[in-house]
Amino acid sequence: MLDLTRYKAIVFDMDGTLIDSMGAHVKAWQQTCEYFGYEFDPEYMHSLGGVPTAQIAVLLNNKFALTHDPEVVAAKKRECWTALADDPSVIQQTCEVLDFYQGKLKMGIGTGSERKHALELLAKTGLDQKISTLVTASDVTNGKPHPETFLRVAELLGATPSECVVFEDTEIGRQAAEAANMDCILVKNGIIQANTNP
């Protein structure tokens, strides 16, 4: 088990870090891109994990010189996601860390998902019973890679940024942790990258 005892709090990303839902997100984005005429690049879409849905629409508009309403695009993506009826599972290695440090360190989730979606996923996987502190895209002005999400989690947990370690699965999430002055441990394809722990 990773020795995290020098920290006061753990901040987990959700999609792709605690819950194996990124595949379904990318599939929903594929359908959304086809609908609106964006060129679909699965690697690029996966790299945007943690970025709020409407902000991804802005990035796609800029990338492909289109002018779709970001809120309309976001609504379509939510519709595609719901239609997939994905049955999410937890990511074992990360959840083992969560279980091991339960009651020993403070824990919270900082996600780029909207609150309604996050609550649904956490309830489906039972993680809502383990972590009560949740900051979503609905709760902040600036999504990742801006540090606001992680800073808000730290504030709610009563920890300073330097007392927190973040678990993340994307480069954008790592940038957000770095901008928040928090150490970051990457999770790639469900495997904790121990060498990223400072």
CATH of the domain at 67: 1.10.150
3 catalytic residue (yes or no): no
Q: Confidence band (pLDDT; 50, 70, 90) for 62?
A: very high
Asked if 39 and 66 count as a contact pair (C-beta separation under 8 A), the reply is: no
Same domain? For 119 and 139 the reply is yes
What pLDDT score was predicted for residue 91? 92
Same domain? For 15 and 96 the reply is yes
What pLDDT score was predicted for residue 196? 47
Which residues fall within 8 angstroms of residue 106, CB to CB, at 6 or more apart? 8, 9, 10, 133, 157, 158, 159
What pLDDT score was predicted for residue 198? 45
The rounded mean pLDDT for the chain is 91
Same domain? For 125 and 182 the reply is yes
Looking at the domain assignment, is residue 191 inside a domain? yes
Query: Closest Cα partner for 81 from 55, 118, 111, 125?
Result: 118
Residues 117-158: tens digit of each pLDDT: 899 889 999 999 999 899 999 999 998 999 999 999 999 999
Same domain? For 75 and 95 the reply is no
Per annotation, catalytic residue among 3, 13, 87, 169: 13
Same domain? For 77 and 99 the reply is no
Same domain? For 107 and 179 the reply is yes
Same domain? For 133 and 99 the reply is yes
Looking at the domain assignment, is residue 4 inside a domain? no
Q: Containing domain of residue 57, as a range?
A: 22-84
Residues 179-191: tens digit of each pLDDT: 999 999 999 888 8
Looking at the domain assignment, is residue 3 inside a domain? no
Structural domain total, the chain? 2
Return the percentage of the chain with pLDDT > 70, whole number.
97
Which residues fall within 8 angstroms of residue 39, CB to CB, at 6 or more apart? 33, 64
Mean pLDDT to the nearest integer, 22-49: 88
Residues 45-56: tens digit of each pLDDT: 888 877 888 889
CATH of the domain at 185: 3.40.50.1000
Please name the amino acid found at residue 77. K
Asked if 50 and 144 count as a contact pair (C-beta separation under 8 A), the reply is: yes
**pTM score, two decimals?**
0.81
Residues 5-21: tens digit of each pLDDT: 999 999 999 988 999 87
What is the token pair recorded at 123? 């309830």
* Alpha carbons 33 and 77: distance in angstroms, whole number: 9
